[in-house]
Amino acid sequence: MVDIFDKFDKFTTAKEARELGIYPYFHALESRQDIEVIMEGKRRIMLGSNNYLGLTTNEEVIEAGIKAFEKYGTGCSGSRFLNGTLEMHLELEAELADFLNKEEVVTFSTGFQSNLGIISAVVGRNDYMICDKENHASIYDGCKLSYGKMLRYDHNDMAALERCLQKVPENCGCLIITDGVFSMGGDIAKLPEICELAEKYGARVMVDDAHGLGVIGEGGRGTANYFGLEDKVDIYMGTFSKSLASLGGYMATSSRVADFVRHNSRPFIFSASITPASCATALAALRYLRKHPEIVTRLSDISSYVRKGMAERGIKTRPSTTPIVPIYTYEVIETLATAKDLYEAGVYVNPVLPPATPPGECLLRTSYMATHTEAIVDEAMDIIKTVMENRRK
């Protein structure tokens, strides 16, 4: 018998990156997640967070978490299905459903788990899932957990999507699954065309709106609202760990679908519920967003300012209209080395490598918050320009 651990010795990628001094992961924060952080003893401008609305440091949100700790203690000690449902979970679900103009919301312990729980429950043995190739990893793992058959189409290629739809037998169900805002490139799904094709072939549509909630749409209601297609998208999935400054995830859908998932989703039934503090902070952040829709406009404005500033400095970015502004670096070693130089110069960004990008299309993912100021992003962009110019010499 082969030792199951033998393959570990063949994994040398991380070791080689460490030896080259360009290993980019697990840098330790010593301060709040904010526009500036202390990371490993030094000030860094944070351009690598999904804290789009900047609410992790909002005093109303923090206070809600403290009060939840005091009232409910540290945890729920069980699943939502049994002893782990708080009144506050129901409040969060009801208010989020109202905000998203859907009949019901089901919450999960994490965003990743939400996709596992939704897809594995909805898609049965004789069903098909059709996925954009740039969908989030949790979607692919959710597809693996189901008993259905997965087909993939090239990113935002509607002709390829239609070819996939044509392969689905007439006696099989089909769910088209797409990110709303794609997490690495920052571009938006072609949702009008997707919904049109779904209607033509009798498929259902699910949108992962983890990076859409709080970012696009009226008051931050997400991708379906942005396109005026709330009644055409059957399931929204999203997270609390980004715009809502907490931890957890959700499904927004019809009562019919929600009731089925609650009683058939193994990741939902067999996982402990969202902790009291996480639930309270997500609810407080949602209420803050509803009271202050102008922060979504501010987020859009600072993102536009950055895209314009990058172009003026000759920094080549991947086109987007969201707070995710990727900078092309193309090759793996160059990407890691540039990220290291930026980190040492005081700017934190995320290097994105295959399989998260196609080979030869590596990038540095920068992302922005409504609380970023023009002055601080100017400082960051000047550093990026200097580092990239020095690397070309």
242 given a catalytic annotation? yes
Sequence-separated contacts (24+) of 363-366 with Cβ below 8 Å = 363/184, 363/318, 363/326, 363/327, 363/328, 363/329, 363/335, 364/326, 364/327, 364/329, 364/335, 364/338, 364/339, 365/48, 365/184, 365/324, 365/326, 366/47, 366/48, 366/306, 366/324, 366/325, 366/326, 366/327
DSSP string, 204-231: EEEEE-TTTTTTSSGGG--HHHHHT-TT
> How many other C-beta atoms are found inside a 10 Å radius of the C-beta of residue 79?
16
- Tell me if 63 sits within 8 A of 285, measured CB to CB: no
Catalytic residue among 89, 136, 190, 242: 242
211 given a catalytic annotation? yes
Residue of 199, 179, 205, 48 whose CA lies nearest to 111: 179
183 given a catalytic annotation? yes
Pairing of strands 174-179, 204-208: parallel
> How many other C-beta atoms are found inside a 10 Å radius of the C-beta of residue 170?
6
Residue of 124, 242, 107, 264 whose CA lies nearest to 181: 242
Distance CA 237, CA 210 (A): 7
DSSP 56: G
- At 362, which helix (H) or strand (E)? strand 362-367
For the chain, how big is the Rg over CA atoms in Å?
21
3-state helix, strand, coil split of the chain in percent (to 5) is 45, 20, 40
| Token output for 76 | 């729920």
- Tell me if 178 sits within 8 A of 203, measured CB to CB: no
Catalytic residue among 183, 243, 273, 278: 183
Which sequence positions are flagged as catalytic? 183, 211, 242
